[in-house]
Each structure stands twice: as structure tokens, then as C-alpha cells.
Amino acid sequence: MAVQNNTPPEQTTAWRLLAEHQRQAAELRLHGEFARDPGRAQRFSLGLERLFVDFSRNLITDETLSLLLDLAGQLGLGEKIGALFSGQEVNTTEQRPALHTLLRVPDDAGAGIQGNGEPDGMARRVRQERDRMFAFVKRLRAGEVRGSAGKPITRVVNIGIGGSDLGPRLVNGALSGYHREGMDIDFVANIDPFDIERALARADPETTLFIVASKSFTTQETLVNATRAERWLAENGCNDTGRHFLAVSGNSAAVERFGIGKDRYFKLEDWTGGRYSIWSCIGMSSAICIGEDNFREFLAGAHALDLHFRSSAFDNNIPVILALLSVWYNNFFDVGAHAVIPYDQRLEILPAYLGQLVMESNGKSVGTDGNRVGTKTSQVIWGGAGSQAQHAVFQFLHQGTRISSIDFLLPLTGGHDRAQHELLVANCLAQGEALMRGSANSAEPHRHFDGNRPSTTIVYDRLDPYTLGMLLALYEHKTYVEAAIWGINAFDQWGVDLGKTLAGQIAAELAGGEPPGSHDASTEQLMGRYRSAQRN
Ligand code: F6P
């Protein structure tokens, strides 16, 4: 069943009132607001278990929030959230649900946790596949999974791209403190041969297992790299390459054609979007790194956020509030970029992960009604780890002519030297304050800071598996709420197809097997330069 409310947001009363209200909000001086209103910081903050979100340094008043909440109500957000959890076909162009939340429902949650529409068989299948994954992890960790020469596997290489790479890679880095000894993990994503060759150079063909992670099992990059890995194994004396592979995919036939047996095949349901798949067996390499208990904690954190998202009133609902803020900036202040700055080195690649999550989900121009949208959709997601970003891109944030909205992320405790961690904390807090407060200097205009630049700060006790699960689920739901407001489908990605088709044509032409196509002069010129480089 399709999701109902297709009202274009700009046709709601709340949208019109927000546009009028924006003129007053643009005059707000945040620093003055804090001085005037001692309750501001507390009122514009929300906590949930180990998370605390301070959104008080945004260009909002109580009236702004109230109008944004009206907007959510007028667009049927509650109904749309219900549709997500209950398995309705929220992915309208592919006629399927998006049930990533089902992947993190704990074993003992009982029936019906997903809501009325949940087909019980799905939950059972999820549990079965998860148990198979953990059983494999256990055998691998016990040294029972052996390569063709009879030696235990000690290195795992995840071959995948996009959602089949960024999630496992992020978890691997973020939870490095939870890694169990005795297993090296590597990642290969790029079609650039440097990527796989670098990984092969440090691998031993007798003790390496390749996880081919691909929902479609048709992705060029992944298949080319997997084929190269297979050739490398054979070139290095492996007489049973199948013992060095495992697949996580939704395409069992293609996995079989590749030569990976059923016992090494882990199923991905078609309702698991690539960028929402870390909770599934796509997380195999993460489960291998951190072990079953920690992986279950990771799922439990996400599930806690799911319950919060599903049941909290909108004014108390963290993903809803953060999404409404991004709508506020994107559509009423024309702020087209959102920076994610983790003051947490372990989350270094979070901006890239969220880049895919948000921009592949919401970089859309057509609404769920099939018409072109009348409003701007996704912001550009960018960023980098603080404090390096301070010494690289913060100039733009402080004195550039464009504004970017910002999320700072900060662990309250680190695992190392307390005094050094405190410097990290001080840097994070200082940046938020400096951006907001500014510093007038008419004598030296180059030293003048306008200030009034908004940011949100998300703090958490420590970066443990549970908290990481909460954080990622928080951003998933924020992304869904944005899509619900803009009236778009967050779960398809047709925009990647055209380039893939053309790349196939150009590759065939460059290989000489196909007659030259009719490309534009620029493409022809660059192809010509490539051909002559091969001759020289
Ligand atoms: O081309 C985009 C995309 O389909 C992403 O959505 C996905 O995460 C990535 O490619 C990898 O796809 P697959 O897991 O099917 O190899």
C-alpha cells in the first residue's frame, strides 16, 4: 500500500507562515537571545539515554519550532512514520518497504514490535540469517574456517562499495577499541586497481578470506575486484578458491554463478537499502572485528532510537527536530550545505557515510506523486574530523560569505589521557561558541567575525557499540523525516544509473570491442587522450 499524504509542502499553511516568520528569524542575534532568555539552552536541548543534543545555537525561537511542528503535522508525518515501521511500500518506485528497523529488533522483542503490518515470517528470517552470521563468526574466530591449504583464516577483506563498504568501514574504525585480537580486516571499494592491489600486497593467499558484499551482485567495481582476488588466489597456488570467499547479497543466482557455495552465502532481503544495510549481514566484517555481543549492542542502540522515533511526541523527538531544522535552513534560509564535524577521530569517515545516507536518499527532484518537486531537497553533506577540520576548512565557516549548518559530535569521555581529551572538548565547545558569538572589529575588517552562525552539538558519554547504533539510527530517521516533509522517496537511487550505463559503453569502446559511440566533443577528446597515452 502506498503512503498517502502527497501534499506538496509549499502548499501547506505552515509553509506559508514559516516563510513569513523567516523574515523575523533572520534578524535574530543568537548571542543576544542567550542573554535575554536564561532558559534557552535547556529548552532547546533533548536527551535520550547516552545522547544529549543541544540545538539551542540555531536560528530559532519557540514560534519557529511550533510552526515547524505544524508543518510536520500538516504533511502527515505521524502516518508516514507508521508506514515505515509497519512495512508499507514507502519505496514507491520499487514497490517495496524499507524495513531496516526490523534488522535491529532484538531476538526477545516478541511479535508485533514493528507494528500492524509486520509479516512475522520476515522477522523470523532476519533472526535466522543473523544467527547464521554469528555462527560463522564464531567458527572463524575459533580457527575452524580454513583456507585451501588447511590454515586458519587470519585476514578478512571486505570487497564492496557504497553501502556495502561505508557502513562496515565506519563501524570498523569507530569501534577499533572493541576489536578482538587475531584478525586483520581490510576494505576494498574502488575500481582503481591501486585499491585491490594494496590490499593483496599485504595479504597471505593461504589465510585470507574475501567477503564479497553486494546487494545486487552486479556492481562493476565489486565484481571486478572479486574476480581479481580470485585470480590472485589461483596465481598464488590456491587450488580451491571457493574456500576463500563468502558473499552477502540479495542475488543468490549471481552468487552461485560466481562460484560461492550456499553455506557461504548470506542473504540480504530486497527491502534492505544499501545505505541502510550495516544492520544486516553486510555487517559481517564488523561482527568479525567486534564479536557477537558487541554487534548485538550496536543493534540494540539503534533499536532504542527506533522506539524513541516511533513513540515520542514530535516536540520531544530528536530525529524529527533535527530534520525540521535542516528543512528550516535548506528551504527558508537557502543554506544548501550541512557540515558534520565529529570531534572524535574514530568517526573520521562519518561525513562520507552520512554523505551517502543523506544525499543518495534525498538528492531527488521528483516527489512520491511523480511530479517535480517545488522545493529544494537534500543539502550537501560535508565535513571532517575536528580538530583537523579547524585547520583546514573552518575559515569558510567563520568568515565565508555562505553559511553551512553544522552538527558537532563529541564524546564526553575518551579512552586515553584525560588532559588531552579535555583539549579536544575545549576545541569543540570553542568552535560552536565562536561561530555563534562572532567578534566585531571595524578597524581591521579581515579580523571581523559576523558570528550568528548556527550549529547543533551532539554529545554522548562514550563511543561504545550501543551509542554508535543510536547515532546512526538517529541520522537514518532524520533523513526519513526530511524526505517525508519534501514528499520524496528516500529509498531509491535512480540517479546513479545513467552514469553506470555510459561507463559500460565507454569501457566497451575503449577496449575496442564496440564501434565508437556518438559522444560529445569533450568526451571524445578525453577518450582520444587516453588512447594516445596507451600508445606512448
Ligand atoms: O550505485 C549506487 C549503489 O546501488 C548504492 O545504493 C549501493 O550502496 C552501492 O551502489 C553498492 O551496491 P551493491 O551493494 O548492489 O553492490
Contacts of 310 (CB under 8 A, 6+ apart): 81, 85
Selection from 349, 358, 367, 364 nearest residue 409 by Cα: 349
**Residue ID of nearest Cα to ligand 1 atom 16:** 214
Atom of ligand 1 lying closest to residue 500 CA = 1
Taking the centre of ligand 1 as the mean of its atom positions, its distance from the CA of residue 48, in whole angstroms, is: 32
pLDDT value of position 259: 96
Atom of ligand 1 lying closest to residue 166 CA = 8
The whole-angstrom separation of Cα 255 and Cα 528 is: 37
- Ligand 1 close to Cβ of residue 216 (< 6 A): yes
- List the chain residues with pLDDT less than 50: 1-3, 116
Determine the 3-state secondary structure of 495 from DSSP.
helix
The one catalytic residue in 144, 151, 197, 500 is 500
C-alpha cell at 431: 568552535
Element (H, E) at 351: helix 350-354
C-alpha cell at 191: 575500481
**Residue ID of nearest Cα to ligand 1 atom 1:** 496
Distance of CA 533 to the CA centre of its chain: 38
Atom of ligand 1 lying closest to residue 161 CA = 11
- Ligand 1 close to Cβ of residue 214 (< 6 A): yes
pLDDT value of position 1: 47
CA 299-142-468 angle, to 5 degrees, is 20
What are phi and psi for residue 246, nearest 5 degrees? -150, 145
Contacts of 489 (CB under 8 A, 6+ apart): 90, 91, 92, 93, 364, 368, 483
- DSSP E strands in 268-383: the ranges are 337-342, 380-383
The one catalytic residue in 27, 181, 391, 446 is 391
Among 100, 158, 164, 359, the mutation site with the greatest number of ligand 1 atoms within 8 A of its Cβ is 164
- Ligand 1 close to Cβ of residue 346 (< 6 A): no
Taking the centre of ligand 1 as the mean of its atom positions, its distance from the CA of residue 163, in whole angstroms, is: 6
Let me know if 500 is a catalytic residue: yes
Contacts of 227 (CB under 8 A, 6+ apart): none
Atom of ligand 1 lying closest to residue 496 CA = 1
Atom of ligand 1 lying closest to residue 360 CA = 6
pTM above 0.85, yes or no: yes
- Ligand 1 close to Cβ of residue 507 (< 6 A): no
Selection from 82, 21, 1 nearest residue 480 by Cα: 82
pLDDT value of position 515: 73
Taking the centre of ligand 1 as the mean of its atom positions, its distance from the CA of residue 275, in whole angstroms, is: 8
The one catalytic residue in 360, 476, 478, 482 is 360
* H runs (alpha helix) in 49-208: 62-74, 77-85, 120-141, 166-174, 193-201
The whole-angstrom separation of Cα 40 and Cα 34 is: 6
Element (H, E) at 484: helix 465-486
Let me know if 221 is a catalytic residue: no
Taking the centre of ligand 1 as the mean of its atom positions, its distance from the CA of residue 274, in whole angstroms, is: 6
The whole-angstrom separation of Cα 169 and Cα 171 is: 6
The whole-angstrom separation of Cα 159 and Cα 165 is: 7
Let me know if 509 is a catalytic residue: no
Determine the 3-state secondary structure of 321 from DSSP.
helix
- Ligand 1 close to Cβ of residue 386 (< 6 A): no
Taking the centre of ligand 1 as the mean of its atom positions, its distance from the CA of residue 18, in whole angstroms, is: 37
Beta-carbon neighbour count of residue 70 at 10 Å? 17
Taking the centre of ligand 1 as the mean of its atom positions, its distance from the CA of residue 254, in whole angstroms, is: 15
Element (H, E) at 249: strand 245-249
Beta-carbon neighbour count of residue 56 at 10 Å? 22
Among 91, 187, 216, the mutation site with the greatest number of ligand 1 atoms within 8 A of its Cβ is 216
Beta bridge partners of 361: none
- Ligand 1 close to Cβ of residue 275 (< 6 A): yes
